[in-house]
Amino acid sequence: MTTTPPTVAELEAQQLRLTLPRFTYEDAWTLGTLLTDLARERKAPVAIDIHRGAQQLFHAALPGSSADNDGWIDRKRAVVARYGESSLLVGTRFREKGKTFETDSRLDANLFAAHGGSFPLVVEGAGVIGTVTVSGLPQVEDHAMVVEALERLIAAS
């Protein structure tokens, strides 16, 4: 699946649209299960992670994924925690300015990765309360899988 990278404006609009009315432990399970089902259907070799603050609420590793995916999850999640925006949006902002996150953010590349796949869990009236992250596919596809699952979760609420 080849996906065209979205623009900053598209990513900003997407993030506004994907605000959740609430996010409970049950919602974390539902979202994690949605992502796992999508990955299984597509035979995607991904790891999936959902955090609320510092607490990990869901983690799954599918066939073909590795411990490297967990490292990518941590680094992408750190970007969302720092910027409050999707890791793809942060990286795209740098690229659209002709810069690179790795050089121009002045953050440790061993701790931060502005590659697509981590998305803030934004709850109406509460702001960013956590993250949902996928790692294992090309970055735009990781991001698209998270967006698809969030859209399904919101539609079911």
* pLDDT tens figures, 90-144: 999 999 999 999 999 999 999 999 999 999 999 999 999 999 999 999 999 999 9
> Could you give the C-alpha distances from 23 to 28, 34, 113, 116, 154, in angstroms and in order?
7, 15, 25, 22, 10
Domain boundaries, the chain: 25-156
| Domain 25-156: CATH architecture, name and number where available | 2-Layer Sandwich (3.30)
Q: Identify each DSSP E strand in the chain by its residue range.
A: 47-52, 55-61, 118-123, 127-135
What local confidence, expressed as pLDDT, does residue 1 receive? 52
pTM, full prediction: 0.95
